[in-house]
Amino acid sequence: MRRRDLARAALALPFAAPALSSTARAQAPAAGGLLNIAIGGGITSIDPHFFAASPNHTAAFHLFDRLVNRTAKAGIEPCLAESWTAVSDTVWEFKLRPNVTWHDGQPFTADDVVFTYTRARNVPNSPGGFGSYLNAVKTAEAVEPLLLRITTHSPAPVLPRQLSSVHIVSRHVGEGATTADYNSGKAAIGTGPYKFTRYVPGDRFEVARNDAWWGPKQDWERVVIRHVSAPPARVAALLSGEVALIDTPPASDLPRLRSAPNIDMVQTQGLRVIYLGPDFSHPENPPEVTDIDGKPFGKSPLLDRRVRQALSVSINRSAIAERVMLGMASPTGQWLAPGTFGFAPDVKPPAFDPDRAKALLAEAGFPRGFRITIRTPNDRYPNDAATAQAVAQMWTRVGIQTKVEAMPWSAYVPRAAGQEYSMCLWGWGSGTGEGSNVLNGVIGTYDKEKGRGASNDGRYSNPELDALTERALSTIDDAAREKLIQQGVAMAAEDLPIIPLFMLTNAWALQKGLTYEARADELTLAMGVKRV
C-alpha cells in the first residue's frame, strides 16, 4: 500500500434531513456560568473504560480526550492526534498534539496512549468493555514523546474510527488505579475541556471548566449533569427552568414542548437501533423459558432459527414506531440508518405476518407455543419498557405467552451481561458510525483475547459471519468493504442473532437563548451548548 494520509478516508456520513433544524436558534442568551442538564440514562461509572454505554461516554467526553474525535454527524476529526498516516498495510503513525497537559499539569505523551490501549482491554468486572474497538491493534509503541506507532494484526482501514471511542487516560495516575478511584475523582484526571468535581451514582455528575484545555475556551464555568430517569420529571425540570437542556423528551410531550414559548427543540437521525437479544448460551434448560404448561425445556427453542424468525415476523414494527414511539423511530430489519456506511438497501423491515409466525412455530415443533420472559430496562431508552410490553402482547397473540420484567438500568446491565436471562431488550449506537461495529462487537463470537464480541451478551456464534467480518475489517477499498458489510447485514437478517425493532430519532429540548448541536451518537455534551 502506498504511503498516504488516511485522515480524510474516514467517511463523514450523510443522514436524511430531520423534521426540525439540527440546531435550535433563539433570542436571548442565558445568564451565569452554570449549565444544568438532565439526562435519562444513568452514568454507571466515571472510569472511561468500564462500560461502553452512551451515558458513560457522556461523562468521559467532558473529562477525557481521544486520539480521534467523533463529530456530531458521525464523522471524525483530529483530537489528541493532529494527523495520522498509514505507512504500510499494517502500520499507522499518529502525530500527537504538542503542549497538551493533564488536569494536574503533567505533560501528555505517546506513552499515555500505550498505557490506555492496554488498560482499556482489561478492566475488571466490565459489563461491556472496549476490546472490540482495539482488537485490530497488535502493538502500540511510543516512538517519540509525540509520535505513536500502531501495528495491526492485518490491514485495518477503520482503525481511526475505532479509536474515536477510546478515551485516553494517563499512565502516571492510571497505573494501579481502580474503577473506584475514577468514580471518587482520585484518578479522573484527563486532558479534556472540563475537570472532575463530583460524582454521585444515580444522581449527578459535576465538572468545572478546564481553562488550560488545548481547545477553544468553553462557555460554561460549571456543568451539572443530573440523572432524571422519569421523562415527565425531565420535562417538568426544563419547563420550570430548573435545567437548561434535556435529552430524550417523551414523544407524548413533544407537541407541548414545541408550543412552549420558552422552549426550543432539536432532533436528528440517530445511530441507535433498539433490538431484542435472544440467549444462545444455554442450549439446555434456558432461564425463564418453559413449555406452554410451565415445564422446562431440555433444548432451548431459541436455538432454532425458525423460532427466531417467528418471533420477528410476529412483531408489528410500524405500529410500535407510530403508537409507542409516536413517530420518533423508524422500523428496521438491520442496525443501520439509510445513508450510513454499510446500510443494506435490500434488507427491509420484516413484514408483520402472525400467520407465518404460527406456521414457523408449528414447523419447529411448537404448535402450542411456549412461555418466555422479556427483560428490559425501564429508565435507559425512550419508552423501553413500553416497547417490551407491546412486543409481549404481539408474541402472546401467536401463542408465545410472554411476560415482561422491567428494572433500573444499573441493576439490569450486570445480570443481562452475565447471561441470566433468555430475552433482553437492548439498544446499540455504532461508535464508529458504520456497520462493522455491530458485526464485530455485538454479534461476533465472544473472544476476550481477540477483543471480539465484547458486547455479545447473548453469546451468539457464527464462524462464517466471523470470517466475513474479519475480511471486511481488513479490506482497504471502501466499496469492497461496504459490500462485505452489507453481506454480513443480510446474513444477520436471515439468522437473527439479534431481532432489530427500530432506529431512534434523537431529540433534545432546551431553553430559548441557547443552541445545541444535535448529535447522531445521541451524546448530551456541554461542549455543544452555546449561548445565542
Report pTM.
Answer: 0.82
DSSP of 15-73: -PPPSS-SB---SSPPPSSEEEEEESS----S-TTTB--HHHHHHHHHH--BSEEEPTT
Q: Is residue 178 a part of any domain in this protein?
A: no
Residue 399, sorted as left (phi over 0), alpha (psi -120 to 50) or beta, turns out to be left
**What is the Cα Rg of the chain in Å?**
23
Find the domain containing 429 and state its range: 270-504
Q: Is residue 298 a part of any domain in this protein?
A: yes
Beta-bridge mates of residue 9: none
Question: What 3-state class would DSSP assign to 298?
Answer: coil
Instruction: List strand residue ranges (DSSP E) for 130-242, in order.
Output: 137-144, 147-152, 194-200, 204-209, 222-227
Whole-number pLDDT of residue 4:
33
Which letter does DSSP use for residue 289 in this model?
A: E
Q: Three cell numbers at 473?
A: 475489517
Exposed e or buried b per residue across 75-97, where buried means at least 16 C-beta atoms within 10 angstroms of its C-beta: bbebbbbeebebeeebbbbbbbb
Cα–Cα dist 301/400, whole Å:
11
* For the chain, the helix, strand and coil percentages under 3-state DSSP, each to the nearest 5: 30, 25, 45
Q: How confident is the model at residue 433 (pLDDT cuts 50, 70, 90)?
A: confident
Residue pLDDT, tens place only, 248-292: 998 889 899 999 999 999 999 999 999 999 999 999 999 999 999
Whole-number pLDDT of residue 451:
80
Among 165-169, 306-310, 438-442, which is the least confidently predicted range?
Answer: 438-442
Whole-number pLDDT of residue 360:
98
Whole-number pLDDT of residue 22:
41
Residue pLDDT, tens place only, 104-151: 999 999 999 999 999 999 899 888 778 888 989 999 999 999 999 999
Compute CA distances 261 → 26, 231, 237, 433, 513, whole Å.
11, 20, 15, 35, 12
Q: Is residue 336 a part of any domain in this protein?
A: yes
Cα–Cα dist 450/446, whole Å:
9
Q: Is residue 241 a part of any domain in this protein?
A: no
Q: Is residue 291 a part of any domain in this protein?
A: yes
- Sole residue written with cell 445521541: 522
Whole-number pLDDT of residue 63:
98
Whole-number pLDDT of residue 281:
96
Across the chain, mean pLDDT equals: 91
Residue 197 or residue 435, greater confidence: 197
- If one counts the domains in the chain, the total is 1
Instruction: Give the helix/strand (H/E) hosting 254.
Output: helix 254-259
* pLDDT of 437 over the 60 cut: yes
Cα–Cα dist 348/283, whole Å:
30
% of the chain residues with pLDDT over 90: 82
Q: Is residue 56 a part of any domain in this protein?
A: no
Residue pLDDT, tens place only, 74-93: 889 999 999 999 999 999 99
Q: Three cell numbers at 482?
A: 461496504
Three-state secondary structure readout of 398-411: CCEEEEEEEECHHH
Residue count (the chain): 532
% of the chain residues with pLDDT over 70: 94
* pLDDT of 190 over the 80 cut: yes
- Residue 373's domain is classified under what CATH number? 3.10.105.10
Helices vs. strands in the chain: H and E counts, helices first: 16, 21
Whole-number pLDDT of residue 32:
57
Residue pLDDT, tens place only, 2-52: 333 333 333 333 333 333 344 443 333 344 599 999 999 999 999 999 998
Q: Is residue 296 a part of any domain in this protein?
A: yes
Whole-number pLDDT of residue 21:
40
* pLDDT of 179 over the 50 cut: yes
Q: Is residue 322 a part of any domain in this protein?
A: yes
